Structure 1
Amino acid sequence: MIKKENVTFPVRELNDLEMKGQLFFPADFDSTKKHPAIVVNHPTSSDFNQTSGKIYATKLAQHGWLALAYDSPYQGQSAGEPHNSEIPFARTVGVIAAIDFLDTLDYVDHDKIGAMGICGGGGFTLNAAKIDKRIKAVAGVAPANVGMVYRETFGPNNDALIDTLNDMAQQRTAEAQGAAIKHIPVLPASQEDRIKAGITDVDIEQAIDYYLTPRGNDQYAPNQFVYTSLAFDFGYDPLALADKLATQPLELIVGDIPGSFASYRFAYEYYDRAATQDKELTVFSNTTHYDLYDQPEATDKAVTKLDEFFTAKL
């Protein structure tokens, strides 16, 4: 039986902003020994009560790993205002702060720390690993480049993207002068709204089924973003400098059914770009992005692959 412990730790790059998370302990945990550990980063618009903690950290602990799942700055139960902002720098230093926290624990083997993330959390974790070499092995499950996703969503062409940035600039000015913070929904509120909007993409359809139904809904993931925060994502690309800085052992896991979140495309791009020669791209057949969030067959296979990878590299 695994044990969970609530934890709190600061992000020094964000003026010691307080992050909340949970440590997942394997059944045979012994606090007098040194244990390798894995940081688990949640998807965009998510929190650790969902797939990162409920599925991946739990299953990794069942495989014998000490795992840390947490809520990123400005999201979930972690601090940060305006809340529900999606800021790539904050998401990246959140991974690094989680490793800072592990470095304070006597029972962690500080030379054997790995990191992984799901969806956007996968991209942010890969981004962190480029600059934090305490991460000795890194993995992404259905990893997404949210910069590319939001650029393509809001700017089907460059003029549209610049128009959106101009609108965000005007909104930010209004908020600086006292207007209310503008939030926008991450997803249509229902499948009916999706259909009315003419959206047929499999990732959006399954995201609604995951996030907005009892299957995955959580009070700390309210299906909204601070509108102006997405401007930071427009300028974000985890592929940048991967050919120079992505040097750790790398595992990328995706399904072969592509959608607008483009994890299939990004995984191939990152695999090709990464500087390391110690890398693997694992593609599960007949598997979607959201199958890798919580569907038993897909997640069991993913965790088995992660266990093999981290065992070999840590």
Structure 2
Amino acid sequence: METVSIRNPGMYWDIAANIHFPPDFSAQRRYPAVVSNHPIGSCKEQTSGNVYGAALARAGFVVIVPDASFQGGSGGEPRWIEDPEQRVKDYRDVIDYTQSLPYIDPDRIGILGICGGGGYSIKATIIDKRIKALVSITGVNFGRLMREGFSNFDPVEALEGMATQRTAENGGAEERINVFLPTSVEDGKAAGIADIDVLEATDYYRNRCPAEGSGTRMLVSHAAPAIAWDAFAFSETLLTQPMMVVFGDKPGGFGAYRDGMEIYGRAASKKKELVVVEGWSHYDLYDNPTPTGIALNRIIPFLKQHLGETAVSHLTAAAE
């Protein structure tokens, strides 16, 4: 694995990314690539990298796993901004970088995203036809979630609060950062939280896979754009690439089951597959070997079908 810094054009900061290489990697060959994108509040060292990135690399792909701008190892100030449009721009900048690598076939790049990263990957695929295949794993339309559960189903009031907070910070007040999760599962239950997604997210981020770059938080004064954003807009006409949608059949408050069914139905893709992993939840698909194994047994053949296998590079073939 190699950690790289990718220039974010016009933004004055770099995107940090890990590159996972296949076994017996050779820079003299041309590989299909997958950009693997982490959930909201996560980082490249967690499920997008250590589970899906690592598995896809073992299967023969070069996998680039970025941190979002303002988060993890990537630059950008202030910290902990969650801006959907910036996240989609990050992905496109990472694709620019990926296409520049001599060992990557620039016409065989796919994208994979988990949770909010799945929704962002869907939007990136809608607008960027360099992406030849899409995999959404327990994907969530973050705009829809912000308008609903994350704003207590009152998005206008939430926008008013964000405006007030931004005005206060411009006047010198301290930043207000919302932490998405309780400090422990026990504290969450004691506070009356019963939702499977919140409790299992807490277990994942606090116990199963803590990581320094994982924030699980959001700067309130810069959150307004997410409320007016929609990951699925124009999918009926513009989302045409091969697509696989993966989620568990245990629904939770973040809405991956609902969003997965919606985008599968709406997408214009002629080649699309729905994978419902029966008996498992949103966060089981982050790191539990059984459901992630079920998912990968479908994802890997899908990506190989649509991105192809490793090939001898043109330069190597000419030399031979």
Give the TM-score taking structure 1 as reference length: 0.95
Q: Partner letter of residue 280 of structure 2?
A: T
The equivalent of 2:181 in structure 1 is 187
The equivalent of 2:260 in structure 1 is 267
After superposition, where does 1:1-314 map in structure 2 within 5 Å? 4-12=1-9, 14-157=10-153, 160-213=154-207, 215-314=208-307
Give secondary structure in 2 for the equivalent of 1:243: helix
Cα drift, residue 156 of structure 1? 4.0
Kept in 2: contact 1:201–1:260 (CA 8 A): yes
State how far apart, in whole Å, the 2-side matches of 1:262 and 1:307 are: 25
Kept in 1: contact 2:166–2:222 (CA 8 A): no
Q: Partner letter of residue 6 of structure 1?
A: T
Q: Partner letter of residue 164 of structure 1?
A: A
Kept in 1: contact 2:121–2:134 (CA 8 A): yes
Cα drift, residue 16 of structure 1? 4.3
Q: Would you say how many aligned residue pairs link Structure 1 and Structure 2?
A: 307
Kept in 2: contact 1:38–1:114 (CA 8 A): yes
Q: Partner letter of residue 265 of structure 2?
A: D
Kept in 2: contact 1:123–1:140 (CA 8 A): yes
State how far apart, in whole Å, the 1-side matches of 2:93 and 2:297 are: 27
Kept in 1: contact 2:22–2:59 (CA 8 A): yes
Give secondary structure in 2 for the equivalent of 1:103: helix
Please give the per-residue CA displacement for 1:106-132, whole angstroms capped at 9, x wherever unaligned: 110001000010000000011011111
State how far apart, in whole Å, the 2-side matches of 1:42 and 1:143 are: 11
State how far apart, in whole Å, the 1-side matches of 2:169 and 2:86 are: 21
Kept in 2: contact 1:125–1:138 (CA 8 A): yes
Q: Partner letter of residue 182 of structure 1?
A: R
Kept in 1: contact 2:146–2:155 (CA 8 A): no
Cα drift, residue 197 of structure 1? 2.6
- Between 1:177-186 and 1:282-291, the stretch displaced more is 177-186
Q: Partner letter of residue 30 of structure 1?
A: S
Q: Partner letter of residue 159 of structure 2?
A: L
- Between 1:192-201 and 1:33-42, the stretch displaced more is 192-201
Identity of aligned residues (%): 38
State how far apart, in whole Å, the 1-side matches of 2:152 and 2:77 are: 30
Cα drift, residue 163 of structure 1? 1.4
Kept in 2: contact 1:82–1:181 (CA 8 A): no
Q: Partner letter of residue 115 of structure 1?
A: I
Please give the per-residue CA displacement for 1:215-273, whole angstroms capped at 9, x wherever unaligned: 11111113321112322211111111111110100001110000011111101100111
State how far apart, in whole Å, the 1-side matches of 2:53 and 2:157 are: 41
Kept in 1: contact 2:70–2:80 (CA 8 A): yes
- Between 1:147-156 and 1:243-252, the stretch displaced more is 147-156
Kept in 2: contact 1:28–1:64 (CA 8 A): no
Cα drift, residue 192 of structure 1? 2.8
